[in-house]
Amino acid sequence: MGARPSATDRRERRPVAPDGLVVVDKPAGWTSHDVVGRGRRLAGTRKVGHAGTLDPMATGVLVLGVGRATRLLTYVVGADKDYDATIRLGAATTTDDAEGEVLSRADASAVVRADLEAGVAGLTGEILQVPSTVSAIKVDGQRAYARARAGEEVALAARPVVVSRFDVLAVRPVAPGEQGVRDDAPPALDVDVTVTVSSGTYVRALARDLGSALGVGGHLTALRRTRGGGYGLDVASTLEELEAQADRDGVLATLPLAQAARATFPVRELTPEQATALSYGQWVDASGTPGTTAAMSPTGELVALVEDTRRGGKDLARPVLVLAPA
**pLDDT average per 10 residues of sequence, the chain (326 residues):** 51 85 97 96 97 92 96 90 98 91 94 96 97 70 61 78 97 90 90 96 96 97 95 97 97 95 93 96 94 95 96 94 81
Quick one: DSSP state of residue 256? -
Query: CATH number of 265-322: 3.60.21.10, 3.30.70.980, 1.10.10.60, 2.30.130.10?
Result: 2.30.130.10
229 by DSSP, 3-state: which? coil
- pLDDT on residue 9: 47
Query: Does 20-77+230-256 match 81-228 in CATH topology?
Result: yes
Instruction: Classify burial at 94, counting beta carbons within 10 Å of its beta carbon; exposed 0-12, middle 13-18, buried 19 or more.
Output: middle
249 by DSSP, 3-state: which? helix
Query: CATH number of 20-77+230-256: 3.30.2350.10, 3.40.640.10, 3.40.920.10, 1.10.760.10?
Result: 3.30.2350.10
Residue 69 CB coordination number (10 Å):
28
Nearest to 127, CA basis, from 54, 223, 61, 210: 210
DSSP letters along 106-123, please?
---TT--HHHHHHHHHTT
Q: Write down the architecture of domain 81-228 according to CATH.
A: 2-Layer Sandwich (3.30)
- pLDDT on residue 132: 83
pTM above 0.85, yes or no: yes
DSSP letters along 294-321, please?
EEE-TTS-EEEEEEEEEETTEEEEEEEE
55 is catalytic: yes
Q: Domain coordinates of the chain in residue numbers?
A: 20-77+230-256, 81-228, 265-322
Beta strands 302-311; 292-296: pairing state: antiparallel
Nearest to 209, CA basis, from 193, 229, 187, 224: 193
Q: Tell me how far apart the alpha carbons of residues 35 and 114 are, in angstroms, rounded to a whole number.
A: 41
Q: Which of 25, 55, 84, 96 is catalytic?
A: 55
- pLDDT on residue 326: 47
55 by DSSP, 3-state: which? coil
